[in-house]
Protein backbone atom coordinates (compact mmCIF):
# COMPACT_ATOMS: atom_id res chain seq x y z
CA UNK A 1 0.00 0.00 0.00
CA UNK A 2 2.80 2.44 0.88
CA UNK A 3 4.63 1.55 -2.33
CA UNK A 4 1.56 2.45 -4.40
CA UNK A 5 1.21 5.78 -2.57
CA UNK A 6 4.91 6.43 -3.08
CA UNK A 7 4.56 5.74 -6.81
CA UNK A 8 1.58 8.09 -7.15
CA UNK A 9 3.21 10.88 -5.12
CA UNK A 10 6.47 10.59 -7.07
CA UNK A 11 4.63 10.77 -10.43
CA UNK A 12 2.70 13.84 -9.27
CA UNK A 13 5.90 15.43 -7.97
CA UNK A 14 7.60 14.94 -11.33
CA UNK A 15 4.57 16.33 -13.16
CA UNK A 16 4.39 19.42 -10.94
CA UNK A 17 8.12 20.01 -11.31
CA UNK A 18 7.82 19.93 -15.09
CA UNK A 19 4.85 22.31 -15.07
CA UNK A 20 6.76 25.02 -13.22
CA UNK A 21 8.34 27.77 -15.25
CA UNK A 22 12.03 28.45 -14.96
CA UNK A 23 13.23 31.13 -12.57
CA UNK A 24 15.71 32.58 -15.08
CA UNK A 25 15.41 33.77 -18.65
CA UNK A 26 18.16 31.58 -20.04
CA UNK A 27 21.36 29.73 -19.45
CA UNK A 28 23.34 32.68 -18.12
CA UNK A 29 26.11 30.50 -16.74
CA UNK A 30 26.85 29.09 -20.19
CA UNK A 31 26.51 32.28 -22.24
CA UNK A 32 29.08 34.25 -20.26
CA UNK A 33 26.65 36.46 -18.37
CA UNK A 34 28.02 37.83 -15.11
CA UNK A 35 24.63 38.06 -13.43
CA UNK A 36 23.51 34.52 -12.63
CA UNK A 37 20.47 35.61 -10.63
CA UNK A 38 20.86 32.68 -8.25
CA UNK A 39 19.60 34.59 -5.25
CA UNK A 40 17.28 37.01 -7.02
CA UNK A 41 14.19 38.01 -5.10
CA UNK A 42 11.44 36.69 -7.38
CA UNK A 43 7.85 36.95 -6.18
CA UNK A 44 5.56 34.14 -7.25
CA UNK A 45 1.96 35.06 -7.96
CA UNK A 46 -1.19 33.22 -8.94
CA UNK A 47 -0.81 29.77 -10.47
CA UNK A 48 2.98 29.80 -10.05
CA UNK A 49 2.57 30.18 -6.30
CA UNK A 50 0.02 27.35 -6.16
CA UNK A 51 2.32 25.05 -8.15
CA UNK A 52 5.27 25.95 -5.94
CA UNK A 53 3.36 25.23 -2.73
CA UNK A 54 1.91 21.99 -4.11
CA UNK A 55 5.41 20.85 -5.13
CA UNK A 56 6.73 21.65 -1.67
CA UNK A 57 3.90 19.76 0.05
CA UNK A 58 4.27 16.74 -2.25
CA UNK A 59 8.02 16.78 -1.65
CA UNK A 60 7.47 16.63 2.10
CA UNK A 61 4.91 13.83 1.70
CA UNK A 62 7.35 11.95 -0.56
CA UNK A 63 10.11 12.28 2.04
CA UNK A 64 7.84 11.02 4.83
CA UNK A 65 6.62 8.09 2.71
CA UNK A 66 10.17 7.05 1.89
CA UNK A 67 11.10 7.04 5.58
CA UNK A 68 7.94 5.09 6.49
CA UNK A 69 8.56 2.57 3.68
CA UNK A 70 12.13 2.07 4.88
CA UNK A 71 11.12 1.58 8.53
CA UNK A 72 8.38 -0.94 7.73
Please report whether residue 56 resides in a domain: yes
User: Domain count of the chain?
Assistant: 1
Task: Tell me the residue range of the domain where 6 lies.
Answer: 1-18+44-72
Cβ neighbourhood burial of 70 (10 Å; 0-12, 13-18, 19+): exposed
| N-term to C-term CA, the chain | 11
Please report whether residue 58 resides in a domain: yes
**Structure pTM?**
0.69
Cα–Cα distance for residue pair 65/3, rounded to 1 Å: 8
Please report whether residue 27 resides in a domain: no
Please report whether residue 36 resides in a domain: no
Give the pLDDT confidence of 18-49 residue by residue, as tens digits.
Answer: 998 776 555 555 555 555 556 566 677 888 88
Amino acid sequence: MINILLLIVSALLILLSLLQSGKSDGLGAFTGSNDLGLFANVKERGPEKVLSHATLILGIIFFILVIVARVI
